[in-house]
Structure 1
Amino acid sequence: MRTFSHLDIEEQTTGTLSYDRDNGWSKPFPSLDSENTLVVVFAAHEYCDAPEPLLEICNYFPESKIIGCSSPVVICDGLLLEGAIAVGIIRFENTQIRLFSASVNAFEESHAAGQQLGEQLTNPDLKGVLMFADGVTTEATELVRGLQERLPPDVTIAGGLASGHTLDDTWMLCDGELKRFHACAVGFIGNRVELTRATGGGWRLIGTECQATRTAGRTLFELDGEPAHDVYQRQVGREMGFGLHESSTRYPLTLRLPNLEMQIVRDVNTVDEVSGAIELAGDIPEGVTVQVMTTTADEILDGVDEAIERMRSKTILPQNNALAICVSCAGRRTVLLDKTREEAALAYDGLGHGIHQIGMYAFGEISTTSSGPPQVHNETLTMGLIREY
């Protein structure tokens, strides 16, 4: 006599699969296509020029909303995959999903693009927004700020910026169409849907606190009235035999924003010794408190536990029928090196193997709500857990 498990009784509404050129698809496509199915795709940049697998996804899910972007390294159920595609699917029974895109051809267009997306998505029953944008032309903080201005209060916003091996090979997948220089967002509308977000770092503070006394956009000109380069050089020094330029990739800055307990991390992209300015990977408001950070590979992995604990503090983790979107910073890979695959595995283990997981390494991570300052991160692991209850 056959016995029925819990999974036999409760129909599965989520799934994951992956693709690589040597082995093809890891499993058959699940029969989850519907007008309220979300398909999230992360793929290596070369599939923009050889899109046959992406077309297979679009053909198999003609009714679904398809969103995604490029990333040289993707994650699928705890496995780190290079040159591959990771696909996550979730079908909703009592939730509407809406998907829109907006062009972002330059940093200056980011705020207006966010407002446009917010106007299209706004709804009294909107519970969450999953958003991806081109990592080359988008100023993520302004994009999120524009979105926040048009949304109801306390809507969760999660996502990240498309990445590539270089700045020339990023792209977006917006409703199944390949695009560059766009932002794409999907909204979850209903009373039984949940998008829960959490972040983890793994960085420790060094040096002394300073005030950003002159900034413009992503450029930090002065700390405590001195050229930013001079202050940064004193605090970082030439540890472990590295020069200042090489050290900058291992010594990001943390920004302490007013009325926000969480610290925002900013990568140091370039240091101009002539002008004394530091170019960051995201915006830096004038007047914020700044401090240098550093880390090790093991400390970065501790950041995964931090994110899991924060997720557990916000929701009871489901046993199945949930989709986790993990967006980690591309810069974390430069610290983790051979241990990068451990980050994906730890996140999968921590959330529980009943929760399907896909992820990517991004040029910036988004984890915030429509209330309060827009939280756009670098060097951070962010998680967005989507489920219907």
Structure 2
Amino acid sequence: MSSTSERWFGAGHSTAVDSAKAGAEAAAGAIAGRTPVAVFVFTSGGHDLAAIEAAVRAEAGAAVVVCGTGFGELSPAGATEHGVAVAALGGPGFTVRAHTADITALGARAAGAEAARAMAGIAAPHTALLLLADGAMRDPHEIVRGAYSVLGAAVPLAGGLTTSGSGQVVGVAIGSDRPIGIGIAHGWRRVEPPMVVTRAADGRIYEFDGEPALDVLQRRRQATGTAAELFDGGRNLCPIGLDRRSGLDIRSVHGGDDEERFVFGTADIAQGSLVWLMEAERDELIAGGPAALREAVGALRGAEPLGVLAFDCGGRKLTLGDDGTAAEVAAMRGALDKPFAGFYTLGEIARVRGAAGMHQLTLVALALA
């Protein structure tokens, strides 16, 4: 078996204003003169993505290059907006392949299944499928279900929803001769009592426990006035926890209708679901980042970690603010003395131990050994 020292994972970060320069600087920092197998590029609005990609490919050679756009990027250098973060990996024992599917043409479920075909031909003792999907598309959970329909429970899923507007999902198959670990954490805790979603359709929740959903949330949050005031125009997020066999999946409700009294978010919560309102202190949210890293590293079963890909929710970033986000990245840096890189997403993907796979207001980490 190859020694860990022959394998590597690097992270680079640039805040250069020029897109090509930012891409080149971040890629050079991550690759550091080595030969990569795969390069992951994370950025947010304000940059020329084509210029970034071209600059990265000039550094990456024949490596698989995959880009994800979101509400900001993160690495040990910090959290930024309008920057570029790059992760790269290489050395013996890694196999990486990518396959893109058109959600608009195929539909979410079929596109997820098509993206999962990146795994075809990967023969390795340890595998994972990374999914980067356009978060503006309807039914993102169907993308995960489509991938699962092809791969089953044997291949763990991780990734995030992007702000690309591309209408596409990219599946990145990772094969390794050493363990791959996934961690999920958020810092939220449930508020009793639970509620049952008694009427929901088309992404809207009309009733909790037989009462108008907006009325229930206003009462539970001791608020009056309009839906816009309750949710502060979408800036005040209402975390909802869904009961799963493996724990609670988090969803974000961020708007409502004063006439029909329904509420809505960016992902469906099915009628009949048992749910809880969720709450957290600032320090609890900050602790979610390092907790996800520790869980991912723990899943390596004692193997030495090389580095981590991180998918943190843009809603967590909004809730924590600049100071809290900086504190979370610092806590992640303290918890993992290894490189990491990622971006702030529209939603997170992690399917392990039977979880449905779609998350919000959560941090998902994928650790490589």
- Range class of TM-score, shorter chain: 0.7 to 0.9
Q: Which residue of 2 aligns with 1:81?
A: 80
Is 1:328 equivalent to 2:339 in the alignment? Answer: no
* C-alpha distance 55-119 of structure 1, shift in aligned 2 (>3 A): closer
Q: Which residue of 1 aligns with 2:240?
A: 253
8 Å CA contact 2:116–2:129 kept in 1: the answer is no
Q: Which residue of 2 aligns with 1:57?
A: 56
Q: Which residue of 1 aligns with 2:114?
A: 116
Aligned-partner SS, 2:179 = strand
Summarize deviations over 1:23-60 as a string: whole Å, max 9, x none. 852655423335xx0101001222236x4332111122
8 Å CA contact 1:131–1:183 kept in 2: the answer is yes
Out of 190, 196, 209, the position equivalent to 1:224 is 209
* C-alpha distance 114-83 of structure 1, shift in aligned 2 (>3 A): same
Aligned-partner SS, 2:109 = helix
Is 1:147 equivalent to 2:142 in the alignment? Answer: no
* C-alpha distance 119-305 of structure 1, shift in aligned 2 (>3 A): closer
Question: What is the deviation of 1:138?
Answer: 4.9
Bigger fraction of residues in helix: 2
- Taking the TM superposition and a 5 Å limit, the aligned residue runs for 1:1-389 are 10-11=5-6, 13-21=8-16, 24=22, 25=25, 29-33=31-35, 37-48=37-48, 51-105=50-104, 109-122=107-120, 125=123, 127-163=127-163, 170=164, 180-190=166-176, 192-238=177-223, 243-246=229-232, 249-257=236-244, 260-316=245-301, 319=304, 322-337=306-321, 338-351=323-336, 353=337, 355-369=338-352, 372-387=354-369
8 Å CA contact 2:246–2:355 kept in 1: the answer is no
* C-alpha distance 70-284 of structure 1, shift in aligned 2 (>3 A): same
* C-alpha distance 382-60 of structure 1, shift in aligned 2 (>3 A): same
Which structure 2 residue ranges, 5 or more long, are not aligned?
Answer: none
8 Å CA contact 1:205–1:293 kept in 2: the answer is yes
Summarize deviations over 1:285-315 as a string: whole Å, max 9, x none. 2211111112232221122343244335423
* Equivalent residue letter for 1:155: V
* Alpha-carbon distance in 1 for matches of 2:155, 2:206: 34
* Alpha-carbon distance in 2 for matches of 1:202, 1:10: 34
* C-alpha distance 151-295 of structure 1, shift in aligned 2 (>3 A): same
- Range moving further from structure 2, 230-239 or 128-137: 230-239
Q: Which residue of 2 aligns with 1:4?
A: none
* C-alpha distance 33-217 of structure 1, shift in aligned 2 (>3 A): farther
> Which portions of structure 1, spanning 4 or more consecutive aligned residues, are displaced by more than 6 angstroms?
none
Tell me how large the CA RMSD over aligned residues is: 2.7
Which structure 1 residue ranges, 5 or more long, are not aligned?
Answer: 1-8, 164-169, 172-179
* Equivalent residue letter for 1:111: R
8 Å CA contact 1:207–1:235 kept in 2: the answer is no
**TM-score, normalised with respect to structure 2:** 0.87
* Alpha-carbon distance in 2 for matches of 1:64, 1:133: 21
* C-alpha distance 207-233 of structure 1, shift in aligned 2 (>3 A): farther
